[in-house]
Structure 1
Amino acid sequence: MSETPASTVPPAPPQGSLKSLILVLGACGFASTFTMRLLDPLVPTLAAEFTRSIAQVAAVATAFAFAYAVGQPFLGPIADSIGKLRTIAVCLGALALLSLAAGFAGSFEMLTGVRTVAGIAAGGVIPVAMAAIGDRAPMAERQIMLGRFLVLMIVGQMVGAACSGLIAEHLGWRYVFVMAGAIAGIAGMLVVLVLKPRPNASRPPLSFKTALTSYAAVFANPRSKLLYGLVVVEGSLIFGMPPYIAAILHERADVGPSQAGLVIAGTGLGGIIYGVLTRILVERLGPTRMTTLGGIVMGFAYALFSLAFLPWWSAVAIFTLSGFGFFLMHGTFQAQATELAPTARGSAVALFACALFCGHALGPVLMGAALHLFGTSSAILIFAAGIAVLGVLAPRILPLAGSRT
């Protein structure tokens, strides 16, 4: 169940209160995405450290994403019952401890295990924060508020990708995880010290029956299955690439983790551009055109990345373009998810995140198979075509609320 009573739409909170909420939850998103993306530039480094193949190290990202997805059906009802802010604070505390443990991992198996459990903890941050924003922002403003939240969250993705490579080259990869733990701990403290739960929130007691009731409310909306299916496909096509970017660039131009981190950070820069322009994009394009344009832009960017003769630094601009396209599409899907079941918003957004990260877990496996079967350029082009087709078909499969026609 949600913190929002079923019978009424909550009044908009004061702008100062909403601003504080976005800033603090944005810091939480920063901490979560910092932890999530920091491994990608380190794949060749960790492969050499633990004498493993690139595919084996890339599979750690799959384990993290799979755990993230598996935890969602449980974290959604927990957040609805004990409170979203409390859930975020506890998960950030756990993420801080697990990140520190990863920094002291003595074996590849230990690193994989710790990162897998960290995926569950990370799953209690961004989806729950989105649901909290959904509880407080009216639908007319929600995608704009989520866009501002995404700006701060994406900065974490950029810093995580860029800094992890730099820190690994100059201090060692273990210090990357230590920094991630410190950031998660600080974000958790901000939630406790700055944000307060709403005193009039309706929170049912946590029970298996309550969870089933929440999910029944979500799937009572026929749009839910369609949206979640689209998001699984989206996650597979988008997140199959990042674990292999460093290895592809190393093979092409012998670049190190710091340069690869800058390239991966380009995705975040594209997201920031989206966040700054969200209001204009929503008002002038509407969800349908944003989704279609996002798929086409991502497909074009991936097609450019398939051209091996381009200099490595051109990939920064390519992934900036890809990131902008991704958030055009995904930001629209996120806003739709917050309105699937207003009386069970935490559960609805948790299932949305579950679907996304099921795709996130599947993507590297599919990309690895494509790379093996077809080679680098052909595999990238296959994913590029799939993303473009998804952008064109998604609004036809699921008419988007608030669309311009």
Structure 2
Amino acid sequence: MNKRSILLILGLAGFVVMADNWVVSPILPSISKDIGVNLASTSLIISAYMIPFGLFQLIFGYLADKFGKRQVISFSMVFFTIATGLCALGTGLTDLTIYRALTGVFAASVMPISLALIGDIFPLNERQTAIGTFLGISFLGQGLSMAIGGSIAFFFNWRGVFMIYAILSVVATILLLTVGRNIPSSKNKEGKVFAPYLNLLSNPSSLKIYLLVLFEGFFLLGSFSFLSGYIQNIYDFNNFLIGLIMSIFGVMSIIGGRISGKISAKVGRKKTILLGLTFVLLAMIIIITLGNILETLIFGIGLFGLGLMLAHSTFLTIATEFAAKARGVAMSLVAFCFMGGGGLGTAFGSRIVGNSRFTTLFILYGIGLLILIVAISIIKKSFIIATAQQK
């Protein structure tokens, strides 16, 4: 099967999942009003999604290695589609919470297992560009989620948002079950449940990367989560306009993904990661100092997306080399660290914003990011990681 077609099919699934991940926030007030529950209680449906989304990444990693990565992604997308459609039919807080939890469970497999599948299919010299392209398409869904959700909710209602996403998910699922059946998918039925995780975490090389990704998620995703709120606070734009501004993040993510492999091949992985993180740090400085000027704010958000993709696609490419026989586990673990770090960063960030202001958050996380950059720069060894063989 053509590799470009594989990337487009997986990318569409990633686009839908990442867009669905962030879509509830702009429509939460509408849901609250419609079902007659206060906003604070309605926010339970966000937690109901995020918790299983984080935990089940680890479970699906093992299942993908054992039963086949393509098979697990296809299975998950079927039930992700059903759960998303059920969300459009929800009538109260209880059933909506259950449906969002189910959506989070099956959404958990798509990103890490797709990355593992790309690691299986693409040779090392093509892998980072492929990973970057996939991530770029997926993060475009995240960047557009507020504009998509806000506009659909504006012209129709919040149920229409879930219905449109269910339709997009049907398209991605049909492609996986038809054309996607030709995607190569290896199995490792002899693998033990806990051994791959213990092996990866006990290997100093892979453990170092996982810890770096954890902090990357904390400072990058933790600050990204509040960009929309910062824009609304400064400009008082509606969700649709905020979504349009945030879409530059997704566009620059695609560009960053496409060029990350070439940059890494030319200057090395370590310098590519440092370059990406430095771009994000510069973006934070621009947002803090010149965020009240719309043009520079847009530039800063675009630079943020470019930098994140350069750094994160390099980390992910390194992680694909950890364990060829347990690549699903390796990628699920790195995704868990990234999203877990982002969750912690968002939680701490909400306290900072609640007690102070958005600029305080960006300043503190910028300092943390600077410390991370210094820590990576003084690591003497290059980021050529010895493979941690599955036991």
Band the TM-score falls in, shorter-chain normalisation: 0.7 to 0.9
1:28 is aligned to: 13
Determine the C-alpha separation between the residues in 2 that align with 1:250 and 1:321.
Answer: 20
Worse-superposed segment, 291-300 or 57-66: 57-66
1:183 is aligned to: 168
1:318 is aligned to: 300
Worse-superposed segment, 282-291 or 85-94: 282-291
Alpha carbons of structure 1 residues 227 and 27: separation in structure 2 relative to 1, 3 Å? same
- Deviations along 1:187-240, whole A, 9 cap, x unmatched? 1111110123677934316xxx72123324423532222211222222122222
Q: Post-superposition shift, 1:394?
A: 2.9
1:121 is aligned to: 106
Q: What are the equivalent positions in structure 2 for 1:19-98 lying under 5 Å apart?
A: 19-42=4-27, 50-53=37-40, 61=46, 63-98=48-83
1:162 is aligned to: 147
Worse-superposed segment, 56-65 or 263-272: 56-65
Alpha carbons of structure 1 residues 389 and 66: separation in structure 2 relative to 1, 3 Å? farther
Give me the TM-score of the superposition, normalised by structure 2: 0.88
Determine the C-alpha separation between the residues in 2 that align with 1:218 and 1:197.
Answer: 30
| Structure 1 letter corresponding to 2:266 | R
Q: What are the equivalent positions in structure 2 for 1:4-403 lying under 5 Å apart?
A: 17-42=2-27, 50-53=37-40, 61=46, 63-108=48-93, 110-196=95-181, 201-204=186-189, 210-307=192-289, 310-312=292-294, 314-397=296-379, 399-402=381-384
- Deviations along 1:292-334, whole A, 9 cap, x unmatched? 1211211221233234861456533321111111111111111
| Structure 2 letter corresponding to 1:250 | Q
Q: Post-superposition shift, 1:26?
A: 1.6
Determine the C-alpha separation between the residues in 1 that align with 2:186 and 2:226.
Answer: 44
Determine the C-alpha separation between the residues in 2 that align with 1:346 and 1:146.
Answer: 14
Worse-superposed segment, 394-403 or 366-375: 394-403
Alpha carbons of structure 1 residues 384 and 101: separation in structure 2 relative to 1, 3 Å? farther
Alpha carbons of structure 1 residues 239 and 307: separation in structure 2 relative to 1, 3 Å? same
Alpha carbons of structure 1 residues 26 and 188: separation in structure 2 relative to 1, 3 Å? same
Higher relative contact order (CA 8 A, sep 6+): 1
Alpha carbons of structure 1 residues 47 and 202: separation in structure 2 relative to 1, 3 Å? closer
Give me the TM-score of the superposition, normalised by structure 1: 0.85
Equivalent residues of 1:29, 1:126 under 8 A apart: yes
Unaligned runs of 5+ in 2: 386-391
Worse-superposed segment, 56-65 or 159-168: 56-65
Determine the C-alpha separation between the residues in 2 that align with 1:45 and 1:319.
Answer: 27
Q: Post-superposition shift, 1:91?
A: 1.0
Determine the C-alpha separation between the residues in 1 that align with 2:380 and 2:98.
Answer: 38
Q: Which SS does the other structure have where 1:210 is aligned?
A: coil
Worse-superposed segment, 234-243 or 372-381: 234-243
- Deviations along 1:152-198, whole A, 9 cap, x unmatched? 22332333332112212222222111111111221111111012367
Q: Post-superposition shift, 1:268?
A: 0.8
1:8 is aligned to: none
Equivalent residues of 1:91, 1:124 under 8 A apart: yes
Q: Post-superposition shift, 1:349?
A: 0.6
Give the number of aligned pairs: 383
Equivalent residues of 1:245, 1:260 under 8 A apart: no
Q: Post-superposition shift, 1:22?
A: 1.6
Q: Post-superposition shift, 1:372?
A: 2.0
| Structure 2 letter corresponding to 1:299 | L
| Structure 2 letter corresponding to 1:171 | F
Unaligned runs of 5+ in 1: 1-15
Alpha carbons of structure 1 residues 246 and 159: separation in structure 2 relative to 1, 3 Å? closer
Alpha carbons of structure 1 residues 352 and 212: separation in structure 2 relative to 1, 3 Å? same
Equivalent residues of 1:40, 1:246 under 8 A apart: no
Equivalent residues of 2:144, 2:246 under 8 A apart: no
| Structure 2 letter corresponding to 1:393 | A
Equivalent residues of 1:103, 1:175 under 8 A apart: yes
| Structure 1 letter corresponding to 2:214 | V
